[in-house]
Amino acid sequence: MEPFRVILLALAAAAVCSLDVRVATFNIERLGDGKLEKPEVVEILLQRYINFLNFSIPLGTPSLRMIQVSSYFFTRWQILDDYDLVCIQELTDEDGSSVPVLLGLLNEASGKEYTNHTSPRLGRTTYKEQYLFLYEPSLFQVVETILYDDTADDIFEREPYYVTFRSGNYMFTMGTIHVKPDDALAELIQFAPANDWVTENYGMQEFLLLGDFNADCDYVSGSDWDEIGLWTQPGYRWFVDNDADTTVNSNTDCAYSRVVAKGPDLQARISDVRVRRFDEEFGLEQAEALDVSDHYPVEFTLTV
């Protein structure tokens, strides 16, 4: 076979094998039974939104008269169904009952078959949270899960949690965190050593880190950044800038939710990162959006 043809076939095979998937991180404030009992919240998270378009059609030949008619079309699905994989922070369900409800509603509304993975319940007090991963099993399989061992130092209110996913022939490790606001600097300083601990004990070299970092405004500012290895070490790339606003409330302008990647191969696979302002997208009043969460999702494309 001619060398040129071999090259073309190789390029074609690579194109066929690669796939762009949509991923998001979303702190859904106090996600549990109470939130899912609010129809208006479920509608925003899980129902279709319809846009109406007016257009003209002729009444007949040879008449040139026109009639205005209104037609509708679906611009997009609900928030959650737009993603192949979404990592959710602040699941506060005590007995595990809300996740099957959410999953059932999502699958019914989307016509897809999502599944889920949840972390252990985390927190020093009786108030606990979990990390929730919703994903399409036809695209992703969970290979390994790791909870950072913070027993000795007890730096984190909610320890970083790592999930290694396989998508086709590609594997990547996603680490998520919901940083305690009052301890944001201390926890963010320890986040890079936590990743090093995972590398030393489990061998992962590259990390897709996302979640609610609380890394802005009253919690992290100015010279604080010089202490954060996740920020200063050259191996990390931050995809949400400090001047972004990931908060719903119009009285705040803070880049709390972040996406960070360690490793050149993984960094090259991430594109189209944006804060999704679902209130503007769906024409919601601020109070309606705040019923869903005080955070916007941050979404991006991952080539796997």
How far is CA 145 from each of CA 11, 22, 23, 131, 302, rounded to the nearest angstrom? 34, 21, 18, 12, 20
Q: Which CATH number fits domain 19-50+72-303: 3.50.50.60, 3.60.10.10, 2.60.40.2580, 3.40.30.10?
A: 3.60.10.10
In the annotation, is 117 catalytic?
A: no
Query: Number of C-alpha atoms within 13 angstroms, CB side, residue 29?
Result: 12
Interhelix angle 39-46/98-110, nearest 10 degrees: 50
How far is CA 60 from each of CA 55, 64, 71, 93, 255, rounded to the nearest angstrom? 16, 7, 19, 60, 56
In the annotation, is 129 catalytic?
A: yes
Determine the pLDDT at residue 111. 93
Average pLDDT, the chain: 90
Determine the pLDDT at residue 50. 52
How far is CA 295 from each of CA 6, 170, 258, rounded to the nearest angstrom? 49, 30, 11
Burial class (CB in 10 A: 0-12, 13-18, 19+), 126: exposed
Give me the phi and psi of 273, to 5 degrees please.
Answer: -80, 130
User: Is there a contact between 185 and 155 (Cβ–Cβ < 8 Å)?
Assistant: no
Q: What is the C-alpha separation between 240 and 25, in angstroms, rounded? A: 12
Q: Is the confidence at residue 72, as pLDDT, over 50?
A: no
Q: Among 90, 157, 159, 178, which one carries the catalytic annotation?
A: 178
Give one DSSP letter per residue of 88-127, joined into a string: EEEE--SSS-HHHHHHHHHHHHHSS--EEEEPPPB-SSS-
Q: What is the C-alpha separation between 159 and 1, in angstroms, rounded? A: 55
What average pLDDT score do residues 226-243 get? 98
Q: Among 90, 129, 159, 187, which one carries the catalytic annotation?
A: 129
How far is CA 174 from each of CA 56, 143, 218, rounded to the nearest angstrom? 50, 11, 27
Q: What is the residue extent of each domain of the chain? A: 19-50+72-303
pTM (two decimals): 0.88
Determine the pLDDT at residue 8. 47
* pLDDT tens-digit map of 76-135: 458 999 999 999 999 999 999 999 999 999 999 999 999 999 999 999 999 999 999 999
- What strands, in cross-sheet order, belong to the sheet with 20-31? 115-118, 130-135, 85-91, 20-31, 298-303, 270-275
Residues belonging to the chain: 304
CA angle, residues 198, 237, 160, in degrees to nearest 5: 35
Q: What is the C-alpha separation between 48 and 42, in angstroms, rounded? A: 11
